[in-house]
């Protein structure tokens, strides 16, 4: 007798199960349902399934700013700072509140080593809440300085 699941790893089985669950949960196909499913997956710690659900919502409605913001957050948490930056920029273009987006965008820049962009954004950010302003201001000290060895001391013999 052939044992179908005897050689499959538990991670693969969990992924198959999560995908099947996602398909059942999102059978309504509305962007709202996909986004709600994504939030449920996030509560359970299943970032991969959440990303799939958010992308499904965005397939139905690419102009959904809240979904772009959520996708940017999840991508940043999973270490994909470049993709997070793309989604967070789209969220800003779609009029997501800068107080929510800009601090995340700063984290994405920092994760990519784009210190100059962090400093520029910190100077240009139009934020309104004390929390967002403080968050952005916290990034300034690490980005306003020159990295050691890059113009911090005059060269000898010059």
**Average pLDDT of the chain, as a whole number:** 82
Domain range for 113: 80-147
Q: Flag whether 21 is in a domain.
A: no
Domain count, the chain: 1
In a domain, 140, yes or no: yes
Is there a domain that residue 50 lies in? no
Choose among 123, 111, 56: nearest CA to 84: 111
Does residue 67 sit within a domain?
no
- Output the six-digit token pair for 87: 């989604």
pLDDT > 60? residue 52: yes
pLDDT at 40 over 60: yes
Both tokens of 49, joined, read: 């399934």
Contact partners, residue 77, CB within 8 Å, separation at least 6: 47
Report residue 6's pLDDT band, with 50, 70 and 90 as the boundaries.
Answer: low
Retrieve residue 122's tokens: 């910190």
Contact indicator for 64, 31 with CB cutoff of 8 Å = yes
Is 105 part of a structural domain of the chain?
yes
Across 93-103, average pLDDT: 95
What distances in angstroms separate CA 88 from CA 35, 122, 157, one per listed residue? 16, 16, 47
Mean per-residue pLDDT, 7-13: 66
Could you tell me if residue 23 is inside a domain?
A: no
């Amino acid at each position: 007798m052939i044992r179908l699941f005897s050689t499959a790893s538990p991670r693969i089985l969990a992924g198959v199960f999560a995908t099947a669950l996602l398909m059942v949960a999102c059978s309504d196909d509305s962007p709202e349902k996909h986004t709600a499913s994504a939030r449920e997956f996030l509560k359970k710690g299943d970032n991969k399934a959440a990303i799939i659900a958010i992308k499904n919502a965005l397939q139905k409605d690419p102009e959904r700013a809240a979904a772009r913001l959520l996708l940017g957050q999840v991508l940043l948490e999973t270490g994909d700072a470049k993709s997070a930056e793309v989604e967070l920029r789209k969220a800003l273009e779609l009029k997501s509140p800068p107080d929510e987006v800009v601090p995340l965008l700063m984290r994405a820049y920092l994760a990519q080593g784009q210190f100059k962009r962090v400093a520029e954004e910190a100077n240009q950010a139009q934020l309104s809440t004390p929390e967002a302003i403080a968050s952005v201001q916290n990034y300034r000290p690490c980005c306003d300085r020159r990295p050691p060895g890059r113009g911090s001391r005059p060269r000898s013999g010059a």
